[in-house]
Amino acid sequence: MSKILVLGAALGGLQTALLLAGDGHRVTVLERDAHRAPADAESAWSRWRRPGIPQMQQTHLPLARWLQLAEAHLPELVGRMTAAGAVRMNVVAPEPGLRGSLRAGDERFDTLAARRSLLEAAATEAAEAAGIDIRRGVACRGLHRSSRGLHSSRDAGASGRARSGRQCPVHVTGVETNEGTLTADLVVDCTGRRSQLPSWLRDIGVREVGEERGRRGFVYYSRYFRSADGALPTSTFPLVVEHGSLGLLRIPADHGSYSVCLVSRGDDLQLRHLLRREAAWSAAVRQFPGAELWLDGHPLTDGVRIMAGLSDRKRNLYDTEHPLVTGLVAVGDSWAFTVPTVGRGLTMSLQHGLVLRDALRRTGTGEPEDLVAEFGRATDDSLAPVYRRTTFYTHHRLAEMDAHAAGLPYRDPDWSRSRALVRLAQRDPDALRAERAAAHLLPGAREELRAPALADAVARLVPEVEQDLPPGPSRAELLAAIGG
């Protein structure tokens, strides 16, 4: 088995480490933040210092697909999260469009709801119990490369040039840290959306890594509460509501806690100025029917927490024919980051970790170029389509927000069909299940969406969607309500 260094002890890195350690690899996780997780959920929420993770004090509702994969491949992780207080919930159960009780088979929509600090503390316990060495306070400062390029008994000679005549890729043999050089058969970058990988690669002679990056993104304005009796404020509510210039996320969590989050365009300077104030934020939340009840809980944090500068980004690290670098892979957000509105980050990270585990099973680390090529192909096949669907959402939702601010409906044929499906899901329980299955990346969802009866019903709603502005207040009414 191989010696593997995983960079980053957040959820993505710990998931990946657990998968690889489960196959017998010797896994060490390096984490630059020095502080260990406190022993209980409340201390982890209020006292755990994680400067490397600005979104640490947040609620987390992974996709239902994440729970399916975690229960299948990391059951000990799910058990520890549940024991710590993560709540098993069904994502269609509270939706108004359900119009009745859950059916047999609806358990596919189950997931775990919790604050991120609880989930990460439980994942740390699971990793340590599995014998994974987590070295805190060790910061990666760069990559260590082989002086001879690719080292492969099959593909390269002493010159460092492949027998095909082309130059071998740079081969990474470890990392440079504040504690010196650490070597490994494989380095796995799980340091997330703030990964310094492009600059590390430049420093060892790898040409510029291409990036696909959205020019615009969203800003998230959140407050966190706990109910007096441990129950959610209402039993029926849509988890996500979008109209006009704003979106609203209601995210249940553990021990009676929950968050309420407003979402605007990153370049909406009017709202960015106003929604920093608690009074304006609360007034904006009240523009969503039924949401005012969610403001009655006891606040867990002071003020409005703002998360900005978030747009979709994917790094093109893997030329599957001629890799740029070997001995190194990027997993999860280090490879591709998607906006939090769609909630796909943790699920994509687990899927990506499984891709890496399976690639290692097929090729091992003895032929580094084969491993990276295999990993790149599988990444393109399984995860790149999910990334593209997310960028579709981001592009069109921002354009819809632009149009609403100008008092105009937004018309695009593909977006209109998407919006018609969402509207139908508010009225029809079968459409709700199909729409949620697709949103949660569940197997078979694409076939459900293509069912003739559903496709016809969506097509009949398209003219209605195209004629209407998104429901809710006009831009002028919204600004007047929040003091603009």
Q: Give the pLDDT of the chain (484 residues) as one tens digit per residue.
A: 899 999 999 999 999 999 999 999 999 999 999 999 888 899 999 889 888 887 788 999 999 999 999 999 999 999 999 999 999 999 999 999 999 999 999 999 999 999 999 999 999 999 999 999 999 999 999 999 987 654 444 444 444 445 444 567 899 999 999 999 999 999 999 999 999 999 999 999 998 788 899 989 999 999 999 999 999 999 999 999 998 899 999 999 999 999 999 999 999 999 999 999 999 999 999 999 999 999 999 999 999 999 998 899 999 886 656 788 999 999 999 999 999 999 999 999 999 999 999 999 999 999 999 999 999 999 999 999 999 999 999 999 999 999 999 988 899 999 999 999 999 999 999 999 999 999 999 999 999 999 999 999 999 999 999 888 777 888 999 999 999 7
In a domain, 375, yes or no: yes
In a domain, 73, yes or no: no
As separate numbers, helices (DSSP H) first and strands (DSSP E) second, the chain gives 16, 21
In a domain, 107, yes or no: no
Is 164 in the same domain as 38?
yes
CATH number of the structural domain spanning residue 139: 3.50.50.60
Enclosing H/E stretch for 7: strand 3-7
Q: Say whether 316 sits in a helix, a strand or coil.
A: strand
Strands (E), 24-138: 26-31, 59-60, 87-90, 110-115, 133-136
Residue where a domain terminates, one of 267, 287, 310: 310
| Separation of alpha carbons 253 and 265, rounded Å | 26
Which structural domain range is residue 303 located in? 218-310
Is 17 in the same domain as 121?
yes
In a domain, 149, yes or no: yes
Is 446 in the same domain as 415?
yes
Is 321 in the same domain as 174?
yes
Is 260 in the same domain as 406?
no
Is 226 in the same domain as 305?
yes
Is 119 in the same domain as 28?
yes
Is 174 in the same domain as 158?
yes
Is 23 in the same domain as 152?
yes
CATH number of the structural domain spanning residue 288: 3.30.9.100
Q: Give the residue from 209, 207, 168 showing the smallest Cα distance to 326.
A: 168
Q: Give the residue from 381, 342, 429, 411 showing the smallest Cα distance to 96.
A: 429
Residue where a domain terminates, one of 284, 310, 336: 310
In a domain, 106, yes or no: no
User: DSSP labels for 403-465?
Assistant: HHHTT-----HHHHHHHHHHHHHTT-HHHHHHHHHHHTT-TTHHHHHT-HHHHHHHHHHHHHH
Into how many domains does the chain fold?
Answer: 3
Is 348 in the same domain as 199?
yes
In a domain, 91, yes or no: no
| Separation of alpha carbons 318 and 316, rounded Å | 6
In a domain, 27, yes or no: yes
Residue where a domain terminates, one of 382, 407, 425: 382
Q: Say whether 160 sits in a helix, a strand or coil.
A: coil
Is 132 in the same domain as 172?
yes
Is 298 in the same domain as 356?
no
In a domain, 444, yes or no: yes
Strands (E), 253-323: 257-265, 298-299, 305-310, 313-316
